[in-house]
Amino acid sequence: MIILIIIQTLFIVFSFYYTMRRLKKCEPISWRVRKGSICYSCNASLCDSEADEYSRIFSDAEDFRLCTRCSRDERLSAALGGRRIIYLNRLKRICHSEKSHRINIYFAVFMFLSIFASLVLNHFFHTDIFNLLSFTGNIIYWSFFLYRSKITLLEKGEDGSK
């Protein structure tokens, strides 16, 4: 059990260090993606008139948009039977949405509760039933968190096109 707690702690420290280092070099783009001024798949800037831009900024609704190239690739993939691009774009859309923030909070609460439950059960009942659950929850949480930070942060100085 001690080895699992050490591994979880090292994973948390590494993930936190990686995220803080990345935040220094990157700027968040989720708000602009949610408002529809950046493509959520390739982070390319979508040029619109100023009136459309201001109306999207002041509206509360999320307006995810794809650029012409990504839209074409998604339709072509759907027509040819390949679902990889479609699923990847859905995951990117989820990472940029407000829903991902709630998912992250739920995973964090679950992770801390499972670690606490495993420590209490191991101390009082000498059972290791929650160790695997807390370890798995920790890995899922930090994997999602790191992927989300990779998707939602853009290197400073990039023009947005890849």
SS3 call for 46: coil
Confidence of residue 162 (pLDDT cuts 50, 70, 90): very low
Rounded Cα–Cα distance for residues 96 and 73 (Å): 20
**Report field, pTM of the whole predicted structure over 0.75:** no
Tens of pLDDT, residue by residue over 34-89, are: 888 888 888 888 877 766 767 777 777 778 888 888 888 888 888 888 788 888 88
- Candidates 18, 6, 2, 4; CA nearest to 143 is 18
Q: Tell whether the torsion through CA atoms of 97, 158, 88 and 8 is positive or negative.
A: negative
